[in-house]
């Protein structure tokens, strides 16, 4: 097949000289016999500096020369061709240029010997592209590793873009914000997902890379509850990274310690003073006192010691509840029988107030009988405290639809409308100044609520015209 004629206005020499790749022909020993203008421009040499003067090998840097001798030359000799060989050329100004070389051994029709024809492609752009691709791959792998690590970080980590939309959110953050499994929150503004975030975010200090900001503790409203989080932020190239650590338990324990010191120390002072005074009197004048007075002093010691023991029991039980260390055993039991047993044991501390029991016979409930007994004792103690001296305590046990209910009603002042929900809070007392003379740590109803919760029941107040009527509902035994 004959060669096609060159385009009009172009000669074969023009096509050779100005080809997009460098062309050169060398002798078997590598001496350059001919090269085009593209190759000269690539190397920065003049034709007189290369043709018949230098070898292709002479244009290579030291490392490439070794590769030339160990790979290029043997391959060319064995295969008569080399394809896509990556080398570097040293330009006349000393700069290095990455190139791709193809070579073929051809017969020389003029001499009958062999020559080597090479094409040399400037690979600068390709090398840059490969480096960028490698860097992008490295960064992608690094991000993937970071994303994988975030899945196992215990602290909540959230990346928001400049518009406050979620870019990255790890599982710990999803748990902290109470997002349901499967919720797709990426791309949504966090202010629309977390109530109060708009007011919280400005309070969180934002540091720069390498200069982290000290975290601040802020309240976070989640599902009707308040969680306390230690939050900090760091500016990133694509937004702001927030790190949040749930410190609710620590804060509650700290608050618990403060309340314990303030309230329990106050509650302990009176019974301790009574015990100490009675003991001192007995020690100093016990033999001279009449028998009735000695018995009264001993009775005071016993009564006030029991009060001290109950205070300490309430504190220890509250600590168990808050730390999650309380064991709950779910079993079937006769609610009426437990109520009767508690009322029988209460004869010694219910003073002269009568207690009337109304029960629907045996009522089988599901729960922990020991914890139910403790909850009932707390309700009875509360009723005795607030009932007048001539008041009556009414206890009822009934079977309801799906639940077993016990009620404890008194003839006391009742509960103010604004306190009906707060009375179950820890340390809450309707009469904090104790003007009425009623004492207590404010833990009894809190303990009752927490015990009943752990038995999958509920506690509350029934509507009443006078006094207060508390109820406890537990599941019916199956």
Rounded Cα distance, 87 and 84, in Å:
9
**Per-residue pLDDT, 292:** 86
**Per-residue pLDDT, 411:** 86
**Record: fold of 250-322:** Helix Hairpins (1.10.287)
Q: Could you give the residue range(s) of every CATH 1.10.287.130 domain in the chain?
A: 250-322
Q: What is the CATH number of domain 151-246?
A: 3.30.450.20
CA 336-344-375 angle, 5° bins: 60
**Per-residue pLDDT, 173:** 84
Identify the segments of the chain with pLDDT beneath 70.
Answer: 1-9, 141-150, 152, 182, 210, 224, 252-267, 348-352, 429-441
Q: Which of 207, 231, 225 is nearest to 156 (CA)?
A: 231
Q: Is the CATH number 3.40.50.720 carried by domain 329-475?
A: no
Q: Could you give the residue range(s) of every CATH 3.30.565.10 domain in the chain?
A: 329-475
Give the predicted TM-score (pTM) of the model. 0.46
**Per-residue pLDDT, 257:** 67
Q: Could you give the residue range(s) of every CATH 3.30.450.20 domain in the chain?
A: 12-124, 151-246
Considering the segment(s) 12-124 as one domain, its CATH architecture is 2-Layer Sandwich (3.30)
Q: Which helix (H) or strand (E) holds 258?
A: helix 248-259
- Distant-in-sequence, close-in-space partners of 251: CB < 8 Å, separation ≥ 6: 217, 228
CB 68 within 8 A of CB 82: no
């Amino acid at each position: 097949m004959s060669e096609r004629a060159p385009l009009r206005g172009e000669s074969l020499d023009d096509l050779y000289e100005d080809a997009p790749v460098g062309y050169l022909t060398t002798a078997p020993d590598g001496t350059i016999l001919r090269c085009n203008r593209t190759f000269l421009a690539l190397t920065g040499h003049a034709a007189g500096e290369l043709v018949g003067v230098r070898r292709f090998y002479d244009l290579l840097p030291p490392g490439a020369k070794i590769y030339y001798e160990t790979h290029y030359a043997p391959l060319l000799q064995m295969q008569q061709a080399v394809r896509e060989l990556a080398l570097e050329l040293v330009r006349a100004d000393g700069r290095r240029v990455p190139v791709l070389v193809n070579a073929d051994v051809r017969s020389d029709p003029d001499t009958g010997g062999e020559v080597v024809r090479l094409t040399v492609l400037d690979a600068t752009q390709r090398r840059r592209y490969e480096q960028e691709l490698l860097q992008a791959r490295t960064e992608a792998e690094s991000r993937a590793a970071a994303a994988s690590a975030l899945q196992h970080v215990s602290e909540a980590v959230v990346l928001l873009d400049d518009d406050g939309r979620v870019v990255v959110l790890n599982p710990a953050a999803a748990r902290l914000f109470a997002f349901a499994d499967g919720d797709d929150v990426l791309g949504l503004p966090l202010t629309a997902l977390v109530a109060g975030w708009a007011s919280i975010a400005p309070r969180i200090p934002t540091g720069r890379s390498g200069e982290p900001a000290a975290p601040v503790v802020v309240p976070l409203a989640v599902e009707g509850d308040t969680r306390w989080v230690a939050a900090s932020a760091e500016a990133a190239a694509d937004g702001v990274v927030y790190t949040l650590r749930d410190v609710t338990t620590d804060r509650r324990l700290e608050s618990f310690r403060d309340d314990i010191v303030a309230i329990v120390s106050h509650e302990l002072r009176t019974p301790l003073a009574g015990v100490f005074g009675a003991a001192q009197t007995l020690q100093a004048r016990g033999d001279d006192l009449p028998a009735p007075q000695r018995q009264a002093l001993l009775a005071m010691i016993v009564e006030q010691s029991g009060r001290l023991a109950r205070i300490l029991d309430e504190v220890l039980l509250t600590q168990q509840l808050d730390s999650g260390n309380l064991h709950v055993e779910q079993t079937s039991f006769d609610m009426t029988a437990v109520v009767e047993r508690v009322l029988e044991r209460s004869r010694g501390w219910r003073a002269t107030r009568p207690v009337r029991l109304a029960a629907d016979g045996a009522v089988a409930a599901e729960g922990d009988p020991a914890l139910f007994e403790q909850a009932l004792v707390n309700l009875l103690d509360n009723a005795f405290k607030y009932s007048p001296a001539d008041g009556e305590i009414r206890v009822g046990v009934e079977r309801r639809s799906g639940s077993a209910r016990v009620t404890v009603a008194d003839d006391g002042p009742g509960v103010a409308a604004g306190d009906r929900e707060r009375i179950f809070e820890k340390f809450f007392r309707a009469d904090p100044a104790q003007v009425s003379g009623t004492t207590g740590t404010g833990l009894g109803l809190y303990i009752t609520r927490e015990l009943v919760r752990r038995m999958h029941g509920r506690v509350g107040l029934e509507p009443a015209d006078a006094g207060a009527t508390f109820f406890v509902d537990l599941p019916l035994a199956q």
